[in-house]
Amino acid sequence: MNTQDQLKKAVGEKAASLVKDGMKVGIGSGSTVYWLVRALGERIQKEGIHIEGIPSSIQTEEWAKEFGVPLTDFATTKELDVTIDGSDEVDPDFQLIKGGGAALFREKIIAQAAKELIIIVDQSKLVEQLGAYALPVEILPFAWERTAYEIEKLGCVPALRLKEGKPLVTDNGNYIVDCPFEKIKDPAELDQKLQKIVGVVETGLFINMATSVIIGSPEGVSMKEK
Ligand code: 5RP
């Protein structure tokens, strides 16, 4: 395992240790979350804790099944105790860019449903200003070129995300455009402007949602709270 994977494992395990018996847990997506799901499965097996999770992607759902994490859904559960998820960028105010794994829409649903949003990252995800990572935006396939044209007016050249030469289709049947804004001065304002464009389903900007961040670095794991 390389150093970055070791850090992802460490933060995933730390977050899993914070989950209490009886909790309903939103489970994010990505390679860091993989370690969270694994560690939750271990706790369920060894300690016999009872939790229920709502996954934010088909991939996470598969991991949950693999590691024995019981799942529920929003038909039976409207509120979550905590959501734990990775991130592509985290700024000093805990504003986030997410969506590298194309799961941002469901991730935002489980983030909003939870009392707490714990973000798990290795130190490489910490930035002074959001934007070096191209902002993922989920858009409807219908007239996607027109939606991308409107996004371009906000100051970037959006790129349609491809998979094996074809447009990547999200778990919700939509497309993703990656938007290299480079420096996002006012993430909340940009989010509002993007949300107003017809055809935009959701943005990868998670504004005022994260309540704590668990950071993995070679010196160890630390947790920052708002
Ligand atoms: C998926 C996400 C992920 O949380 C984000 O891309 C981080 O992934 P990783 O843990 O693999 O670095 O937002 O849509």
Q: What is the pLDDT of residues 131-161, one digit of tens each?
A: 999 999 999 999 999 999 999 999 999 999 9
Q: What pLDDT score was predicted for residue 43?
A: 98
Q: Which residues line ligand 1 (CB under 6 A)?
A: 28-32, 85-88, 98-104, 107
Segment 113-138 mean pLDDT? 98
The domain in which residue 149 lies consists of: 135-202
Residues 15 and 85 in one domain: yes
Residues 113 and 165 in one domain: no
Select which of 13, 61, 89, 107 is catalytic: 107
Could you read off the pLDDT of 89-106 as tens digits, one per residue? Answer: 999 999 999 999 999 999
144 and 59 inside one domain: no
In ligand 1, the atom with minimum distance to the C-alpha of 102 is 14
Same domain, 97 and 178: no
Evaluate whether residue 180 is within a structural domain.
yes
User: Are 46 and 72 contained in the same domain?
Assistant: yes
Query: Is residue 12 within 8 Å of 221, Cβ to Cβ?
Result: no
Reported as a single tens digit per residue, the pLDDT across 61-83 is: 999 999 999 999 999 999 999 99
Identify whether 76 is part of a domain.
yes
pTM of the model: 0.97
- At 108, the pLDDT band (50, 70, 90 cuts) reads very high
> pLDDT of 182-200, one tens digit each?
999 999 999 999 999 999 9
Identify the CA nearest to 204 among candidates 151, 149, 167, 150: 151
Same domain, 14 and 66: yes
Residue 196 lies in a domain: yes
Average pLDDT over the chain, rounded to whole? 98
Whether residue 8 sits in one domain with residue 23: yes
Both 21 and 85 in one domain: the answer is yes
The fraction of the chain above a pLDDT of 90, given in percent, is 99
Q: Could you identify the atom of ligand 1 that is nearest to the CA of residue 98?
A: 13
- Do 51 and 152 reside in the same domain of the chain? no
Q: Which of 11, 88, 107, 171 to mutate to test the pocket of ligand 1 (most atoms within 8 A of CB)?
A: 88
Token pair of 182, please? 């480079």
Whichever domain contains 19, its CATH number is 3.40.50.1360
Residues 53 and 79 in one domain: yes
pLDDT band at 224 (very low <50, low <70, confident <90, very high): very high
Same domain, 100 and 35: yes
CA of 100 to the centre of ligand 1 (A): 5
pLDDT of residue 89: 98
Split into its structural domains, the chain has a count of 2
Which atom of ligand 1 lies nearest, measured to the CA of 32? 10
Is 47 one of the annotated active-site residues of the chain? no
Average pLDDT estimate for 159-181: 98
Q: Strand 96-97: give its sheet, edge to edge.
A: 89-90, 96-97, 205-206
Q: State in Å: Cα 186 to ligand 1 middle.
A: 22
Q: Cβ contacts of residue 192 below 8 Å, gap of 6+?
A: none
Measured by CA distance, the residue closest to atom 8 of ligand 1 is: 30
Would you say residue 226 lies in a domain? Answer: no
